[in-house]
Structure 1
Amino acid sequence: MSFLHSLGLFATLGLIYGCSTTSSLTSAQQRDAYLQQFIGQTSQSIQARLDLNSIGYQQVLAPVANDQTLTYTVIRPVTIPVPIAQNPADIDAGNIPIPVTPRAQSYDVNLQCKIIFRLENNMAKSVYYTGRTC
């Protein structure tokens, strides 16, 4: 197997591992429970009290409000580990392994989605998400 194939395989496995460990049902349930507490509140109250950092999101744009919706555009930072294999034959031959910094052993991505509160008479009636990354 060539070096590029090996690197591609490790990157793919790292991506699968990163996705499977970051999208746990528990975090989705926590997000849903947190956001549901704002149902029945005014859009002004939501904007004053909503703390997206507490559920692992970073707000990237100011919220957009109109008569029907209050929309937040957010990102969720995710670090995907990329394993770097050492060739044991190189170590046995006396070659010194090159130390790799922890930063080079992962790939950082920001997964973007929108959190949208549906409004009626300026009161939140429901919340939903767009984008598969919420």
Structure 2
Amino acid sequence: MSFLHCMSLLTTLCLLYGCATSPTTTAQQRDTYLQQFIGQSSQSIQANLDLSSIGYQQVLSPAVDAQTLTYTVIRPITIPMPMAQNPADIDSGAIPIQITPRAQSYDVNLQCKIVYRLEQNIAKSVHYTGRTC
């Protein structure tokens, strides 16, 4: 197996691990949670919506106008970095250098917007902008 092939496989496995270690709320669960606020006033939504319960962190105060109620949120994800070691070092009996867990990953904050469409201050639908919702 070539070095490039090994690195590609390792990178793919690490990305899959990163996805597996992200918040456990599924897209369907998030959608169901957000849909329950349709039919409520924008004030009621603002008072009761708990974005942290579905894995989001609110970064700005909600923006409200006559047609929309918009939340800007992030979803923090930790992605592990592959730590390649030279196979010759391992075969020669060299002791691998220990690296702290923090140095083996990096944090990413995936941003999106949750937008409730309002009619006469009542939520009629919800949609998302950004690929991370």
TM-score range, shorter chain: 0.7 to 0.9
Q: CA deviation at 1:81?
A: 1.7
Partner of 1:59: 58
1:1-134 equivalences under 5 Å are 9=8, 12-13=11-12, 16-17=15-16, 20-21=19-20, 27-134=26-133
Cα deviation digits, residues 3-50 of structure 1 (max 9, x gap): xx68x74784256425754789x6101101101110110000100111
Residues 76 and 14 (structure 1), Cα distance of their counterparts in 2 relative to 1, 3 Å cut = farther
Structure 2 unaligned residues grouped into runs of 5+: none
Output the TM-score relative to the length of structure 2. Answer: 0.83
Q: CA deviation at 1:103?
A: 1.1
CA distance in 2, matches of 1:27, 1:38: 18
Residues 18 and 113 (structure 1), Cα distance of their counterparts in 2 relative to 1, 3 Å cut = farther
Q: CA RMSD in A?
A: 2.8
CA distance in 1, matches of 2:112, 2:41: 22
CA distance in 1, matches of 2:74, 2:10: 22
Residues 81 and 38 (structure 1), Cα distance of their counterparts in 2 relative to 1, 3 Å cut = same
Structure 1 unaligned residues grouped into runs of 5+: none
Matched residue pairs, number? 132
Residues 56 and 39 (structure 1), Cα distance of their counterparts in 2 relative to 1, 3 Å cut = same
Which amino acid counterpart does residue 42 of structure 2 have in structure 1? S
Aligned residues with identical type, % of pairs: 69
